[in-house]
Structure 1
C-alpha cells in the first residue's frame, strides 16, 4: 500500500496528474494524449512504410520494360528479385543490434537517406551487374528501418492506441502495394529516351526508379525532424531527455504550454549507460537470447513456425514478384492474337529469355508498351489482399488462428494448382488474387501465433528469426522459379501450390492457443 508521500495526485475527473514517486513510461505517454503529433506520425509512416515495399517490388515492373536495354534472361530476373532479400537477410542481426544500442531516430534518417541514394544509383544503372549490386545494397539498408518503424511508432502511443496504430501501419502498407502499379502504369509505358551527362542512356524504367526513391528521401527528411523515442531514452537512463520529448508531444497534441504537462518525473528504468560497454553487453545478451529457442520446450514450436514461414514466403513472394511478368506475357499473347485469350500455359509460351546476338536466327527484342491491363491487374490483386484483411479480422475471433491458418492455406494451395488449369486471363487473375491474398494474411497470422506461443522475453527474437528464415525462402523461391518456368507450365504452379498445402498440414502440429485475436 502506498504511503501518503507516494500517493498519486488525481484531479477532479479522476485522471492521473503527478505521481510523486516518478511515472512509468505507460503513465507518462498516456498523459501526452492523442492529437496532432500522432496524426503527424501517421503521415511519417506513409513514405517510410512504402519504401521497403518499393525496394523489394519495383524490379518486377521494370523487367518487361528493361529486358531489351539490359539483355535480361529469365535467370537474371530471378536473381534480381532474390538479391534484395539476400541483402535483407545479411543485415538482419546487424540492424537489430544497432537500433537497440544507438537509438531509433538517428539510424532511421541515416538509413532512409542511404536507401534513397542506392535507389537513385539503381536508376542510373546501365548494365546488369550494376543493377544487381545496387539492389543488394538497397536490401541491406532498408531492412533496418523496415524492422524498426513499428517499434518507433508504437513507442509514442499508449496501450490504448498501440494495437490500432499497428492496424494503421498494415493498411498503409497495403495501399502502397496498390499505388506502386499505378505509378508504374503512368511512367513505364511512356516513350522516354534521353542521355544524361553525355554518357548515361536513360529510359522510362530509369525514370521510374528515380521516382520510387522519393519515399525513402522523404522518410529521411521526416525522421531527421522527429524526436527520439522516449521509451528508448528511458530504457537507457536518459529520463530528462525522455521527459522533454513527452512535454513536446503533449504541447503539440493539446495546445497547452509544456509546463502544464502533468508528469514531472519518471521512474529510473536503468542508469545512463556507457555506450561502448553496454553495446558489447547488448551483443552478448542478444546471442544468449537465442539459446532458449533451440532447446525444449521451445525447439519444436520455433522449427514449426520457421518451416511454415519459409514455405509461405517462398511461395507467395515468388508469385507476387513474378506476377507483373506473367501478366505481361498474357497481355503480349492477347496483343498478338487480336484480343483472344487462352489457357495460362498457352499464353506463357511467349516468355523467352532475352535474345542473344550471334544466334543463327537472331530475333529482334521488342517491348509492348500497350500494357495498361498489366498494371490494372496488379492493382486488383493488391486490393483483394486489402479486402481480405477486413474479412479475416471479423472471422479470427470465432475460428481461431490455427483453424484459420489451415483453411487459408488449403484455399491458397488449391488456387496455386488452379493456375495450371486456368483457361482465360480472367480466371488467372482471380486465382492469383486469392492466392496472394490468403498467403499474405497467413504470414501475419504466423507472426501473431509466435507472439502467443513464446514468453515476452523471447517474442521479439522469435519474430525476427521467423521473418529472416521466411526471407531466405523468398530469396530461394525467386532463384528457382525461372528454372521451373523453363521446365514447363506445371512445375512452377504445382510447386507454389504444394508450398501452401504443406503449410496447412504442418500447422496442425502447432499447439492450440487461447489467444485468438490478432495482436
Structure 2
C-alpha cells in the first residue's frame, strides 16, 4: 500500500513537468518509504548519542574519587570540568567544516574511534596534568558526534519525518543520563585496587574506561551504514546517492532495488563543483580546507542565513546557560537540603538562606575521605557519596524522557516556533521558582519541571537548525550552534562560581531571565522552511 501511494505521488509530480524517472532528493527519499532501515538507523544514532551523553556527564561521578586519589583541589576539579567544555568549543567549527567538506559519516567514525581510545587511555592517568589533557581531548573529539548526529540523522529522512526523528533521538541523550548514575552506583564503590609497573588502577578509572568500550562497539556497527545521500547529492555524487537510496528502498519495502522508481537524481541547486580531493599534498589539503572554510562562512554570512544563524546561536546559548548553570549546581543543593532536614526535621529554609548560613554549609560538607588500608594507598580512597544524589538524578532524567516523547509526537502537529517558545518560557519561569522553594521535595518537583522543559527546547532547536539551513552549510551551522551552547555552559559555570558567594539571588534570576530571553527570541524563527 505504501509503495502504491509512493508510486502514485511520483506519477502525479511528474505530471507537473518533471521528467519520467527523475527526482530531487526530497521526492527520492519519500519514495524510499519509512521502515526497517530508518528504525535501525534511528537506534544507531541513539546509541551514538548515549555515548556522547555519558562522556558529557562522567566528570560528576569520577571527580569525587579522583579528588582523593590525585589530591585534587577545588580549582583543579573546576579546571577538569572546564577543559572538557573548552575542548568541545575549539572543535565545533573545525569538525563542522570538515563534515561539510568530507562527509558526515567519515568524521563521525573518526572522532568516535579516537574518543573511545582516549577514554580508555585516560583511565590510566596517574596525575592531574595527564588527566586534564585527556579530558580536554575527549571534549575535542566527542564534540563532533555531539553536533553532527542531528545532521547525519536528519539527512536520511524526508521533511515530514525529519523533525520527529531528531526529537526522538534526544530520548537517548536523556537515557544516557539515567544509565550513567546507575552504572556509577554499581562500579565506583567496588573495592578494586590494582598496581602494575607503577600504575595504579581502581574503580573510578575502570568506570572511565567502561564509557569508552561501548563507544568503540557503536563505531564498529556504524561502519556498516552509508554516507548521507543528501550530502553526496550536494557534492554532485548523484550516482553514489542513488545507489544508497535504492538499498534503503529495498530494506524498507522488501522489494528489489531495481524496482525503485527513481532512475536519475537531480543535482542540488548548490553543488560543490570543486571536490577533487585526491592526490593532494599537505599544503593542498590545507588550501582546500581554508577554501571550504571561506566558502561556508561566506554562505552563512549571506542573507537570510546570517540572521537565522545568529538567532539560533543566541537561543542555544541561553538554553545551555540555564541547563548547565542550574544542572551542575543542583546536586550540591540537594545535598544541603538533605543534611539540613536530617538535622532540623521540623524546619523549612529557603535556598538562599541555606547557601548563606555558614553553619549549614558546615553541615553540608561531606565527611573526610577514609583510607581503607595504609596512609599511602591513595587508590583505596572511598568518598561517601550520598545515595540521594543518584536517586534525584535518576528521577529528574526519567521525568525528562516525557519531554522527548512529547516533542516527537508534537513535531508535525504544532508550528515550528511553538515548542521552543513555550518550553523556554516555562523553563525560565521554573528557574525563577527555585528561589521560592523551601524543601528538598519542592526543589525536586521544580527541578523536574525545569529540566523537562529546557531539555525539550534543546532537542527541538537541533531539529529546527537541520530544517532551516541548506545541506552545504548545515553541519557548520549546527556545530557553531553547539559551540555557542558550550560557551553558554562555561559562562554559567563561571557566573555561578563568582556570584554565589556575593549573592545567591543573582545567579538564580540571571538563569531565569536569560532562558526567558531565549524563548522570546524564538518568536523570530521563520515559520516555513527557507
Same fold (TM over 0.5): yes
Helix, strand or coil for the counterpart of 1:237? coil
Alignment of 1:329-408 (within 5 A): 343=349, 344-345=354-355, 348-349=361-362, 350-351=364-365, 367-369=382-384, 371-389=386-404, 397=414, 400=418, 404=422, 407-408=425-426
Question: Which residue pairs with 2:373 in the alignment?
Answer: none
Helix, strand or coil for the counterpart of 2:275? coil
Question: Could you tell me how far 1:312 is from its partner in structure 2?
Answer: 3.6
Whole-angstrom CA distance in 1 between matches of 2:6 and 2:51: 46
Whole-angstrom CA distance in 2 between matches of 1:80 and 1:266: 49
User: Does residue 222 in structure 1 map to residue 206 in structure 2?
Assistant: no
User: Does residue 415 in structure 1 map to residue 433 in structure 2?
Assistant: yes
The answer to whether the Cα contact below 8 Å between 1:67 and 1:354 also exists between their aligned partners in 2 is no
Question: Could you tell me how far 1:303 is from its partner in structure 2?
Answer: 6.0
Whole-angstrom CA distance in 2 between matches of 1:242 and 1:12: 19
Question: Could you tell me how far 1:98 is from its partner in structure 2?
Answer: 0.6
The answer to whether the Cα contact below 8 Å between 1:74 and 1:353 also exists between their aligned partners in 2 is no
Helix, strand or coil for the counterpart of 2:264? coil
Whole-angstrom CA distance in 2 between matches of 1:39 and 1:302: 30
The answer to whether the Cα contact below 8 Å between 2:66 and 2:204 also exists between their aligned partners in 1 is yes
Helix, strand or coil for the counterpart of 2:32? coil
Helix, strand or coil for the counterpart of 1:286? helix
Helix, strand or coil for the counterpart of 2:197? coil
Question: Could you tell me how far 1:511 is from its partner in structure 2?
Answer: 5.3
Distance 1:516 1:441, change over 3 A: farther
Question: Which residue pairs with 2:150 in the alignment?
Answer: 150
Question: Which residue pairs with 2:516 in the alignment?
Answer: 504
Question: Could you tell me how far 1:58 is from its partner in structure 2?
Answer: 0.5
Q: CA RMSD in A?
A: 4.0
The answer to whether the Cα contact below 8 Å between 1:402 and 1:508 also exists between their aligned partners in 2 is no
Question: Which residue pairs with 2:256 in the alignment?
Answer: 257
Distance 1:176 1:11, change over 3 A: closer
Helix, strand or coil for the counterpart of 1:227? coil
Question: Which residue pairs with 1:169 in the alignment?
Answer: 169
Whole-angstrom CA distance in 2 between matches of 1:459 and 1:268: 17
Distance 1:251 1:311, change over 3 A: closer
Q: 2:527 aligns with which of 508, 511, 515?
A: 515
Helix, strand or coil for the counterpart of 1:499? helix
Distance 1:62 1:179, change over 3 A: same
TM-score scaled by structure 1? 0.80
Distance 1:288 1:121, change over 3 A: same
Whole-angstrom CA distance in 2 between matches of 1:40 and 1:224: 14
Question: Which residue pairs with 1:16 in the alignment?
Answer: 10
Helix, strand or coil for the counterpart of 1:179? helix
User: Does residue 319 in structure 1 map to residue 316 in structure 2?
Assistant: no
Whole-angstrom CA distance in 1 between matches of 2:486 and 2:6: 53
Q: Which one is further off, 505-514 or 100-109?
A: 505-514
Q: Which one is further off, 100-109 or 341-350?
A: 341-350
Question: Could you tell me how far 1:377 is from its partner in structure 2?
Answer: 0.8
Report Cα offsets for 1:89-137 as digits up to 9, x if no partner.
Answer: 1111111111111112222111111010111122222222112111111
Question: Which residue pairs with 2:236 in the alignment?
Answer: 237
User: Does residue 138 in structure 1 map to residue 132 in structure 2?
Assistant: no
Question: Which residue pairs with 1:310 in the alignment?
Answer: 317
Whole-angstrom CA distance in 1 between matches of 2:212 and 2:340: 32
TM-score scaled by structure 2? 0.79
Helix, strand or coil for the counterpart of 1:14? helix
Q: Which one is further off, 301-310 or 163-172?
A: 301-310
Question: Could you tell me how far 1:28 is from its partner in structure 2?
Answer: 2.4
The answer to whether the Cα contact below 8 Å between 2:83 and 2:132 also exists between their aligned partners in 1 is yes
Question: Could you tell me how far 1:374 is from its partner in structure 2?
Answer: 1.7
The answer to whether the Cα contact below 8 Å between 2:23 and 2:262 also exists between their aligned partners in 1 is yes
Question: Could you tell me how far 1:459 is from its partner in structure 2?
Answer: 7.5
Distance 1:133 1:246, change over 3 A: same
Helix, strand or coil for the counterpart of 2:194? strand
Whole-angstrom CA distance in 1 between matches of 2:421 and 2:318: 18
Whole-angstrom CA distance in 2 between matches of 1:377 and 1:125: 30
Distance 1:461 1:112, change over 3 A: closer
The answer to whether the Cα contact below 8 Å between 1:412 and 1:439 also exists between their aligned partners in 2 is no
Question: Could you tell me how far 1:146 is from its partner in structure 2?
Answer: 1.9
Distance 1:333 1:76, change over 3 A: farther
Helix, strand or coil for the counterpart of 2:200? strand
Question: Which residue pairs with 1:358 in the alignment?
Answer: none
Question: Could you tell me how far 1:206 is from its partner in structure 2?
Answer: 0.9
Whole-angstrom CA distance in 1 between matches of 2:142 and 2:386: 30
Helix, strand or coil for the counterpart of 1:33? coil
Where does the alignment leave 5 or more consecutive residues of structure 2 unmatched?
A: 278-284, 370-377
Where does the alignment leave 5 or more consecutive residues of structure 1 unmatched?
A: 1-9, 356-363
Whole-angstrom CA distance in 2 between matches of 1:431 and 1:12: 47
Helix, strand or coil for the counterpart of 1:76? helix
Distance 1:165 1:100, change over 3 A: same
Report Cα offsets for 1:227-278 as digits up to 9, x if no partner.
Answer: 2222222222222222222222223223333333333222244458323686
User: Does residue 72 in structure 1 map to residue 72 in structure 2?
Assistant: yes
Question: Could you tell me how far 1:221 is from its partner in structure 2?
Answer: 0.7
Question: Which residue pairs with 2:105 in the alignment?
Answer: 105
The answer to whether the Cα contact below 8 Å between 2:104 and 2:152 also exists between their aligned partners in 1 is yes
Question: Could you tell me how far 1:86 is from its partner in structure 2?
Answer: 0.5
Whole-angstrom CA distance in 2 between matches of 1:451 and 1:153: 10
Question: Could you tell me how far 1:156 is from its partner in structure 2?
Answer: 2.1
Whole-angstrom CA distance in 1 between matches of 2:469 and 2:24: 25
Question: Which residue pairs with 1:468 in the alignment?
Answer: 483
Question: Which residue pairs with 1:119 in the alignment?
Answer: 119
User: Does residue 481 in structure 1 map to residue 499 in structure 2?
Assistant: no
Alignment of 1:274-313 (within 5 A): 274-275=276-277, 279-292=289-302, 306-313=313-320
Distance 1:400 1:47, change over 3 A: closer
Helix, strand or coil for the counterpart of 1:202? strand
Question: Which residue pairs with 1:438 in the alignment?
Answer: 453
